[in-house]
Amino acid sequence: MKWVRPNCAAVCFSVAIVMTLAAESGADDSSGTVGFEDTGIDVGVETWILDETTGEIVPAPPGFVSQDPNQYRAEPQCQVDENNLDISCLAGQRPCPPRADGKPGVPVIWKVAPRSLPNPTWSDWTANGGGPTCLYDQNPEDLLPRIAARIQNEFQKLPVVPGKVTAQPSPHTLRGAETNFYAAASEQPFDITILAQKIHIVAKPVQYRWDYGDGTSLGPTTTMGGPLPQDRWGEKTRTSHAYAATGDFSVVLTTYFQGTYSVNGGPALPIPNQGQFSSAPQTVSVWRSVTRNYADDCITNPRGQGCPGAAPPKK
């Protein structure tokens, strides 16, 4: 018996055994022909690309321009040449289990060839061990659960610029006085690729946590604070802090960003959990204040204690 596979424009596979009676062909009644009929599973993909993150071959999203020098295609596991399949291979072939949504799979061997050649020689792609894999209809909608499972981890790895912290007064403040802290943070867009699909992410700041460096903290809170005019420095604000001791303290602001993502220009979907991004520590020096009486003023003695020309007080 001979297995014959006619050419197929798309990547589509199924096997239907068609027995042609000898009487119809004019041959001896004891002979027959077994044909490979193209009736089957059209994966609906024209271009396959290698996902560098997972090492899988996946369908290219619409409009995607690959920088990979190679191109990929799938062939039936038991294909011998352009039109023939091996009977002994088919007899021992393990069927692919259906997916949870009921879509059947096809055992295939992946092939690779240089993209630059118009009629290349295809060779087995051995990055996955070279063995057969199951090919399913991988539309972008089918990939959404897998993308959703990875989006939180990818979100946290983004180079999101954390909020910037400002202290008033700075870099020196006084023990027991209120030091006003406030944040500046902005919404940030990102474009990444997951499973060869174009993912657009928007990170929006929504909460803030202040670690004042002396063991106390504030938040998370939706209040980012704001600047005060210099003549109001020392007033208590919703984000201010009064240090009980002198010394140098490292203040860290952690900004919580809420994200949304869209796949291939689709609707914006929420990223379940917030991403946390911390600013670099900012040192605040806390000094003590001392009150003394002097016989002259700073006009008479500009270098006297407490005057602008005097040495700073000891911590």
**How much is the average pLDDT of 48-64?**
76
Domains of the chain in sequence order: 3-138 (no CATH), 160-287 (2.60.40.10)
DSSP reduced 3-state for 232 = helix
Separation of alpha carbons 61 and 196, rounded Å: 7
User: Are the C-beta atoms of 258 and 274 separated by less than 8 Å?
Assistant: yes
Residue-wise pLDDT tens digits, 136-166:
766 666 678 889 999 999 999 999 999 999 9
pTM higher than 0.85 for the full model? no
* pLDDT of the residue at 93: 81
Examine the pLDDT at 299 and tell me if it is beyond 90. no
Examine the pLDDT at 55 and tell me if it is beyond 80. no
Max mean pLDDT among 20-29, 195-204, 221-230, 283-292 falls in: 221-230
CA distances (Å), origin 286, targets 180, 218, 238, 240, 248: 13, 19, 20, 14, 6
- In this prediction, residue 220 has a pLDDT band, given cuts at 50, 70 and 90, of very high
Examine the pLDDT at 176 and tell me if it is beyond 90. yes
**How much is the average pLDDT of 104-128?**
83
Examine the pLDDT at 105 and tell me if it is beyond 90. no
The region of weakest confidence among 88-97, 130-139, 262-271 is 130-139
Tracing tokens 């271009």 back to the chain, one arrives at 47
Tracing tokens 């002198």 back to the chain, one arrives at 246
Separation of alpha carbons 241 and 194, rounded Å: 43
Examine the pLDDT at 233 and tell me if it is beyond 50. yes
- Other residues' Cβ atoms within 10 Å of the Cβ of residue 191: 8
- In this prediction, residue 266 has a pLDDT band, given cuts at 50, 70 and 90, of confident
DSSP reduced 3-state for 16 = coil
Residues in Cβ contact with 46 at an 8 Å cutoff, skipping those fewer than 6 apart: 10
* pLDDT of the residue at 128: 62
* pLDDT of the residue at 129: 64
Question: What's the N-to-C CA distance of the chain in angstroms?
Answer: 97
DSSP 43-102: ---S-EEE-TTT--EEEPPTT-----SEEEEEEETTB-SSSBB-HHHHHTPPPPPPPTT-
Residue-wise pLDDT tens digits, 67-89:
888 988 888 788 777 667 787 88
Examine the pLDDT at 283 and tell me if it is beyond 90. yes
**How much is the average pLDDT of 12-22?**
28
